[in-house]
A and B are shown apart, each in its own frame.
Chain A
């Protein structure tokens, strides 16, 4: 069935030429949308009545963009709408979104994936608190573990790395590609020996060290190489398990303090 009001055009419009519909009843969160714009940009055009400039979908995206200092936005322009049609579209846009059903398990999988990226959940409208609420609702055993009394506590991730696997090849411990490229340029240039030595030393700063592989290598290395690796701080030895024990004590004391302040929690 053909649409009753086809989009006339989709284009960048000046924010000075449009405005939220004066009778918009929906209260969005411009700050959350602003975070999304920062992360994703505008991934969907807002909907604007061409005659009046009223925004029928995306009012708070408009507000967030304006707060960010943007001057233009991508908009679908709908021609020749009556006042009733403007409101009808606005209501439909809000209500139809409300009717959607969320599969929390799939959502949680996406959030977990995102939470492990550098940008994390920023711009998704989710934050650490409500994400963890969702996770604990769905899979309490993955985020939490039960203590002897059957109460849930958070899982503990040790700061101490446990080496794994066979001894890795030494070539896998570093990536010198950026250094090698710089070195090639340096050696091709017409420089004094001193200048070359200095620039090569500087280029070495770009060598990437893979500290997980280095720790794996350390675990298989003979004592004399281990001493040299320690002296170069290629690994940090947790002598007498001081860090591990200090961490455990931190957790125990924090838990005790929390319990003393919130005995009913």
Chain B
């Protein structure tokens, strides 16, 4: 793995359950891994005991002054946005230019490809295929960052492939969003905004003014459902559900994000991004007049 790259796993309160660490190693990542915790984590000692020098701690109160949380809440600072914004400085601290920042509960990386798998009688169909060469995958995505003006590129989440506007995953495509597995360049920094739903807030707010965020459809990661894994963001979502979460993104992009209800028996609110209103189109240079 190239030496100017590292993986940062953002975690809080579950030192014995940093699933992503094992997943990275199992799936072929040989580079540096850093466990990012905050200085308000009661389980910090356990993290240090288990991961030693790989643990990096950031000052949560300090980072909280550097970005807009989108609210006036002083109740807690449990959301992941603090760690997301702290990673930039930590990356400089450990001397890498490129990094991926990941949640701590990823269980698998895989390809979404066409191929013969279990059933030779059906010669061509596609599925998730477990990745074994994660080094090469990350290096490939860094090359994409080097070659394009992209702020961040991400792998698609397993659940994200099911539905969503223009989400037909039979295609090789780049979606104009990035969530949960941000591959970034310290020389092209951006700030995550909003205490909750920070990924959506960030790609709609900054995407509207020309920042490029991409999710690559051919590579996928799987994650434990938020509510199933104790610690982390679970308590925040349990407290507020998707009700408050969704409104954060509306505040940041009121012309392109709306709220809708899903469900009837237990209706809840969820955000909807209207993509044609959210981000400017990428247009070939051939359409550009010189005079």
Interface residues of A (CB under 8 A from B): 37-42, 65, 68-70, 112, 114-122, 127-129, 132-133, 135-137, 140, 142-144, 151-157, 159-163, 178, 205-212, 214-215, 218-219, 221-223, 226, 230, 233-247, 249-251, 253-255, 257-258, 260-262, 264-265
**Of B169, B260, B263, which one neighbours A128 at CB under 8 angstroms?**
B169
**Cβ–Cβ < 8 Å partners of B113 in chain A:** 154, 255, 258, 262, 265
B276 CB within 8 Å of chain A: yes
Contact (Cβ within 8 A) B276 A212: yes
**Of A65, A178, A247, which one neighbours B265 at CB under 8 angstroms?**
A65
B171 CB within 8 Å of chain A: yes
**Of B173, B277, B278, which one neighbours A156 at CB under 8 angstroms?**
B173
| Chain B, Cβ-Cβ closest to A207 | B255
**Of A42, A235, A255, which one neighbours B283 at CB under 8 angstroms?**
A235
Q: Which of B57-65, B66-74, B212-220 forms part of the interface with chain A?
A: B212-220
Interface residues of B (CB under 8 A from A): 111, 113-117, 122, 124-129, 131-133, 136-137, 140-141, 143-144, 147-150, 161-174, 176, 208-210, 212, 214, 216, 218-219, 254-256, 260, 262-268, 272, 274, 276-285, 287-291
A-B contact pairs, 28 of them (CB 8 A): A38-B262, A40-B263, A114-B163, A119-B262, A132-B170, A136-B124, A136-B170, A154-B171, A155-B171, A159-B174, A161-B283, A205-B255, A208-B256, A212-B281, A215-B281, A219-B287, A223-B291, A234-B280, A236-B210, A236-B212, A247-B174, A250-B141, A250-B144, A250-B216, A254-B111, A254-B219, A257-B136, A261-B132
A233 to B162, CA, bound (A): 31
A72 to B285, CA, bound (A): 59
CB distance from B77 to the nearest CB of A (A): 27
**Of B144, B166, B208, B283, which one neighbours A218 at CB under 8 angstroms?**
B283
Contact (Cβ within 8 A) B129 A258: yes
User: Which residue among A68, A120, A144 has the maximum number of chain B CB atoms within 10 Å of its CB?
Assistant: A120
Given contacts A143-B170, A159-B174, are A261 and B264 in contact (CB under 8 A)? Answer: no
Given contacts A116-B165, A205-B254, are A235 and B280 in contact (CB under 8 A)? Answer: yes
Shortest 5 CB-CB contacts between residues of A and residues of B = A120-B163, A41-B264, A265-B115, A233-B210, A161-B281
Contact (Cβ within 8 A) B283 A236: yes
Given contacts A127-B162, A242-B148, A251-B172, are A152 and B282 in contact (CB under 8 A)? Answer: no
**Cβ–Cβ < 8 Å partners of B219 in chain A:** 254
CB distance from A160 to the nearest CB of B (A): 5
CB distance from A35 to the nearest CB of B (A): 9
Contact (Cβ within 8 A) B255 A206: yes
A122 to B266, CA, bound (A): 15
A146 to B172, CA, bound (A): 14
Contact (Cβ within 8 A) A118 B272: yes
**Cβ–Cβ < 8 Å partners of A70 in chain B:** 265-266
Given contacts A137-B125, A222-B289, A265-B115, are A144 and B131 in contact (CB under 8 A)? Answer: no
Contact (Cβ within 8 A) B172 A240: no
Contact (Cβ within 8 A) B162 A156: no
**Of B147, B170, B272, B289, which one neighbours A154 at CB under 8 angstroms?**
B170
A173 to B208, CA, bound (A): 15
A-B contacts besides A152-B114, A261-B131, 13 pairs, CB < 8 Å: A37-B266, A118-B164, A118-B165, A135-B170, A136-B124, A160-B284, A163-B287, A205-B254, A210-B277, A218-B287, A235-B283, A250-B140, A264-B116
**Cβ–Cβ < 8 Å partners of B125 in chain A:** 132-133, 136-137
**Cβ–Cβ < 8 Å partners of A137 in chain B:** 122, 125
Contact (Cβ within 8 A) B172 A155: yes
Contact (Cβ within 8 A) A38 B171: no
